[in-house]
Homo-oligomer: A and B are copies of this chain.
Amino acid sequence: MNQKKFLLAGFLLLSVLAFGQRPNTDGMIYLDENRRPVLRENIIIPDVNGYKVLKCDFHMHTVFSDGLVWPTIRNQEVWEDGLDAFAITDHIEYQPHKADVNTDHNRAHELLKNVAPKNNLILVKGSEITRNTPPGHFNAIFIKDSSPFIEDRKKEFDRDALMKAAEQNAFIFWNHPGWQPNIEGSYEWLPLIDDLYKNNALHGIEVINGFGVHLKALDWCVDKDLTVMGTSDIHNLIDHDYDRSKEYVHRTMTLVMAKDRTPESIREALDEGRTVAWASKILAGKEEHVRNLFDACVQLMPSHFTEKKDNGDTINYYEIRNNSDLYFELVLSEGNATKQIILYPRSFQIISAAGGQSSLSYDVVSTYIRSNKHLNVSFPLK
């Protein structure tokens, strides 16, 4: 019995037990107050220079490879988490449940083909092509057919499956470089990676995968003009892995700045590299995109109050607003003002600055635009 029963009120009043239960009709009580509200969260991020900021997760697993849930659970999680687009990317080469589950590589996607659109979600077709480390794993998304991808985990790297994905016009990204630090060469720009890159079979890299941030990959993305990706790579349950009691915690995802909320616009944005990887408190991306995102979300208001000190000095007070569900942490880099500003999702702070200054500069230490560099922002003072 897993259906939800709803109540139709005749007019205003219903009989309910003292402790908030629904009515006792024919010997039944319905304990609806114990249910979790089922709803789609609206993650608020303002448009960035006319682009919509789509929340996308293009790396996740189901029982059809080494995930632990039926594909519909992934759809449900995506809907509730407020995402716009997702891909099921089960491993081609690793199917630990194969004794019990269909091994057809197209199957998980197929099971969601009518489910996602009913939920107003964009489903992108994908597969994880899984090689030994180095170089490790690759996701091919926007593919047409997973069946031609050859399973191959020999010691020597076989690039055939990736080239076939490229022939399908896939968008291909390298997954979690650096996740096996003990394997030599696993976190390096090896010749075989370079070969893929030069043959147009590598378009992005996971700078953030789940709870791991791969800062060297950010440098590669910047230097070689690859697209910055963030993904959950979820195998277990989102609610199991992420600490939802913290308001700023969301699954790791890619923020895609797209013209429209369509698969085509997402693909275009990925091709153009208009992305920022987001992992709860951390944003990582190319400077231009991180800056535009910051500017769209954070606003320093004109001074609302001036304090005069006995010695004639003045201190101005300003409200700084975070109009988004992102998290920002700023440390003063230039000027005489509040040293540290923490902007939790949808919250405001008051800061103060000595009078007579025309601007302040802050390092946004919760962002990365290079492995060793935060975004630096300057606020003109009014």
Q: Which B residues are in CB contact (< 8 Å) with A215?
A: 24, 27-29
Q: In the complex, what distance in Å separates the CA atom of A235 from the CA atom of B72?
A: 12
Q: Is A35 an interface residue, CB under 8 A from the partner?
A: yes
Q: Which B residues are in CB contact (< 8 Å) with A304?
A: 117, 120
Interface string of A343-363 (1 = CB under 8 A from B): 110111110000000000000
Interface string of A96-121 (1 = CB under 8 A from B): 01011110000100010000011110
Q: Which B residues are in CB contact (< 8 Å) with A25?
A: 181
Closest to A347 in B: B39
Q: Is A31 an interface residue, CB under 8 A from the partner?
A: yes
Among B15, B19, B41, B365, contact of A365 (Cβ-Cβ < 8 Å)? B19
Among B21, B34, B241, B246, contact of A242 (Cβ-Cβ < 8 Å)? B34
Q: Is A134 an interface residue, CB under 8 A from the partner?
A: no
Q: Check if B20 sits within 8 Å of A371, measured CB to CB.
A: no
Closest to A282 in B: B31
Task: Choose the segment among A63-71, A164-172, A286-294 that binds chain B (4+ C-beta atoms closer than 8 Å).
Answer: A63-71
Q: Is A190 an interface residue, CB under 8 A from the partner?
A: no
Q: In the complex, what distance in Å separates the CA atom of A242 from the CA atom of B239?
A: 12
Q: In the complex, what distance in Å separates the CA atom of A336 from the CA atom of B46?
A: 35
Q: Is A150 an interface residue, CB under 8 A from the partner?
A: no
Shortest distance from the beta carbon of A319 to any chain B beta carbon, whole Å: 5
Q: Which B residues are in CB contact (< 8 Å) with A31?
A: 211-213, 279-282
Q: Is A183 an interface residue, CB under 8 A from the partner?
A: no
Q: In the complex, what distance in Å separates the CA atom of A118 from the CA atom of B344?
A: 21
Q: Check if B236 sits within 8 Å of A239, measured CB to CB.
A: no
Q: In the complex, what distance in Å separates the CA atom of A9 from the CA atom of B329?
A: 12
Q: In the complex, what distance in Å separates the CA atom of A366 from the CA atom of B70?
A: 37
Q: Which B residues are in CB contact (< 8 Å) with A366?
A: 19
Q: Which 4 A-B pairs have the closest CB atoms?
A: A16-B16, A27-B216, A39-B347, A100-B102
Extra inter-chain contacts (7) besides given A9-B18, A237-B237, CB under 8 Å: A1-B209, A13-B23, A68-B70, A73-B237, A120-B305, A120-B317, A239-B239
